[in-house]
Amino acid sequence: MIRLQAGQTGPSGLLKDWWTHETRLYCHCPWSDSLCQLPASAQADDLDWISGCWRNEDRSYKEVWTKPEHGYLFGYALNLNGETATFFEQTRIELGTPATFNAYPGGFGPSEFTETSRARNTVTFANPEHDFPQVITYTRDGRRMTATISRMNGDQAQVFSFRRC
């Protein structure tokens, strides 16, 4: 088992508290005394699958994400009434272990969510102190992607289904 103290640089070059043990990567969860468990294969480039333009079926919602670059993915979302934007949100994912999702709804924020789990083509971020949502999960399946938001216990879940633009 390898243990790095706060401020030491790991193999990825990130300054984080983390531990590796066999095939698992552990990170400290700021809202809990327990450890989050992430797969060892969870590298920054693993979130490349979010990149691109995504729209819901009735074209009333659009989400766009850049490719990972210099440790970030940048995005924006638009609620649309025809071609008129009725609401916007800017987003940023700071890549790392764990990654951090920052939302700026209407340009205000950030509301910060910490990665709690990641597998192939799925990632979950959480912030139990946030009013709503408290959990954000993205899942990709081919040319489709879903974003699910909810409370920590799963209540008030809303699922957004997207296809490539």
* pLDDT on residue 107: 94
Model confidence over 89-106: pLDDT tens digits?
Answer: 999 999 999 999 999 999
Contact 103, 111 (CB under 8 A): yes
Segment 12-26 shows an average pLDDT of: 33
Segment 116-143 shows an average pLDDT of: 97
Helices (H) and strands (E) in the chain, counts: 0, 14
* pLDDT on residue 45: 54
Segment 105-118 shows an average pLDDT of: 97
Segment 140-156 shows an average pLDDT of: 97
Structure tokens at 48: 């490349």
**24-28 and 35-39 beta bridge pairing:** antiparallel
Please, which pLDDT band fits residue 137 given cuts at 50, 70 and 90? very high
Residue 38, number of CB atoms within 10 A of its CB: 21
* Cα dihedral: 23, 29, 32, 33 (round 10): 60
pTM: 0.74
Q: Which of 1-5, 42-46, 93-97 has the lowest mean pLDDT?
A: 1-5
Percent of the chain with pLDDT over 90: 72
The Cα angle at residue 91 between residues 141 and 164, in degrees rounded to 5: 30
Residue 49, classified by CB atoms within 10 Å of its CB into exposed (0-12), middle (13-18) or buried (19+), is: middle
Phi (first) and psi of residue 44, to 5 degrees? -55, -40
Identify which has the larger pLDDT, 31 or 58.
58
* pLDDT on residue 46: 75
Query: Which position has the token pair 């919602």?
Result: 61
